[in-house]
Amino acid sequence: MMRKFVVGLLLAAAALAFGLGSAFAHHGNASYDAKNVTVKATVTAWIWSNPHTILKFDATDEKGNIVHWIGEWDAPPTLVNFGVTPKSIKAGDLVTVTMDAVAKSGQPVGRVRKVVLPDGDVLSMGNEK
Amino acid sequence: MSIRPTLLTLLLTGMFCASGAYAQDSAPPDDQNAKRVSGVNIHRGGWDRIVPTEPADQTSGPAPLRDLSGTWEPTPGFRDGVFSQGPKEYPADGKPEHDLPFTPLGLQKFKENKPGQGAFAVPIAAANDPFLICDPLGFPRIELFNLRAMRVFQNKSQVDFIYQNDQAYRTVWMDGRSLPKEILESRWYGYSVGKWTDDYTFVIETVGMDERTWIDNVGRPHSEELKVTEIWHRVSHDILELTLTIDDPKMYTKQWTAINKFRMRLRPDWFDIHEMVCSASEAQQYLQTVADEAAAEKKADSEKKK
């Protein structure tokens, strides 16, 4: 019981530390499981929109299937302060995407935390695990 | 002969720096070509100009008399007013000390609201937050959720607030009129009157808010009897504090203060507010592309394109 409590406390502290509760202002986390997923992928679309930016990317799973991922990231007025702009990413880029939460449903939908660009530059808000 | 102005300049500069203020009238930095750095927070305005780092302390020179004008942002962090989990004094975190004094009707209405955030959050696809489809945030939610930059204009008869979030505005009258005795037409942002209670404190009362709006981001409800009191206190030249109190006897058994002395900092005159508009088509795209997809049944592997 105590162990569960301590683990819960640590998870809560981690969530606070990484801003899980606040990053996505009016959309919450109820659709997601906190889980780190990193995939190498080809960008199919980078949509600079409110309330959240959307990154679409195709990755190949372990069975060789192409998975059409949808990633949501923070809103434009937040991302611009972290060096991320509409021109940071473009369709066709070969990238490595790290997500810190994925859909509970099992659908390939997640929350983006970091994108490594073809030239090795890293896009992030500094809150990735 | 030039020593006097130089000394005066040094003296004034020293006073200004010692006060903790940063230069409001300084020229904007020419940083369009500055290398963009990711992973760290370098605050930029809407024209991509870097905002000077704030002084470590919160003090500054004296405030002008009876003046709220200027562009303000939450401080010390420009995102400190996001309040995604509910307003600072009453976040919806399930802690007993943050339970609100609901009336039976208030509790019923609260349960009918399905927010995307807070202890009672539901998946976005199941939420009924009116802002999901870009209904106006309304007042007071515009100050209790995603309170970011805010520009204030004032003249002798009115004070106008323009908010970054959703580019909303509202007018506060201070020409001596009273609040409407009867609300013929409710409004998203209500009817507001304000008065200076001293040279640095402006108190606003607002009534007549549309019942479709939520008080905050976690679905706290209100009725047509809602009355909101804002106390804007200009602590110094650079610092403005907001205290906001909710009074709605139909929904709550007593008043509650949603934010208390929440601090905002004056930005330089050249500071441009980054656009943040709730576009219906973009919202629909988000709901269809992300929220509905996240909630959908997992597709069988065989259905995936090779």
Position A20 in a domain: no
Contacts of B79 in chain A (CB under 8 A): 22, 78
The parent domain of residue B276 ranges over 83-294
Distance between CA atoms of B130 and B137, rounded to whole angstroms? 8
Domains identified in chain A, total number: 1
Q: Measured between CA atoms, how close is A61 to chain B, in angstroms?
A: 10
pLDDT at A6: 41
Contact between chains at B121 and A80 (C-beta distance less than 8 A): no
At which residue do the structure tokens 């997809």 appear?
A: B293
Position B178 in a domain: yes
Position A80 in a domain: yes
Partner residue opposite A50 with nearest CB, options B40, B277, B295: B277
Distance between CA atoms of B227 and B205, rounded to whole angstroms? 7
The pLDDT tens digits of the residues spanning A13-60 come to 333 333 333 446 656 778 899 999 999 999 999 999 988 999 999 999
Partner residue opposite B289 with nearest CB, options A70, A82, A122: A70
Whether the model pTM is above 0.90: no
Contacts of B294 in chain A (CB under 8 A): 31-32, 103-105, 107, 109
Q: Record the tokens describing residue B297, joined without a space.
A: 């049944």
Position A75 in a domain: yes
| Per-position DSSP letters for B192-247, written without gaps between them | EEEEEEETTEEEEEEE-B-TTS-SSTT-----TT-EEEEEEEE-SSSEEEEEEEEE
pLDDT at A79: 95
The parent domain of residue A92 ranges over 26-120
pLDDT at B2: 37
Domains identified in chain B, total number: 1
Position A6 in a domain: no
Position A114 in a domain: yes
CATH code of the domain in which A115 resides = 2.40.50.140
Q: What are the angstrom distances between the C-alpha of B165 and each of B127, B137, B145, B242? A: 20, 9, 9, 17
Residue of chain B with shortest Cα separation from A111 = B290
Position B49 in a domain: no
Partner residue opposite A67 with nearest CB, options B40, B117, B304: B304
Instruction: With cut-offs at 50, 70 and 90, classify the pLDDT of residue A99.
Output: very high
At which residue do the structure tokens 């640095």 appear?
A: B200
Q: Print pLDDT tens along chain B (306 aa).
A: 333 434 333 333 333 333 444 445 566 666 665 677 888 889 999 999 999 887 777 678 899 999 999 999 999 999 999 999 999 999 999 999 999 999 999 999 999 999 999 999 998 889 999 999 999 999 999 999 999 999 999 999 999 999 999 999 999 999 999 999 999 999 999 999 999 999 999 999 999 999 999 999 999 999 999 999 999 999 999 999 999 999 999 999 999 999 999 999 999 999 999 999 999 999 998 888 888 888 886 654 434 433
Position A58 in a domain: yes
Position B247 in a domain: yes
DSSP character at residue B183: -
Q: Measured between CA atoms, how close is A66 to chain B, in angstroms?
A: 5
Contact between chains at A66 and B306 (C-beta distance less than 8 A): yes
Contact between chains at B116 and A80 (C-beta distance less than 8 A): no
Q: What are the angstrom distances between the C-alpha of B15 and each of B8, B22, B52? A: 10, 11, 19
Contact between chains at B276 and A24 (C-beta distance less than 8 A): no
pLDDT at A2: 43
Position B253 in a domain: yes
pLDDT at B13: 36
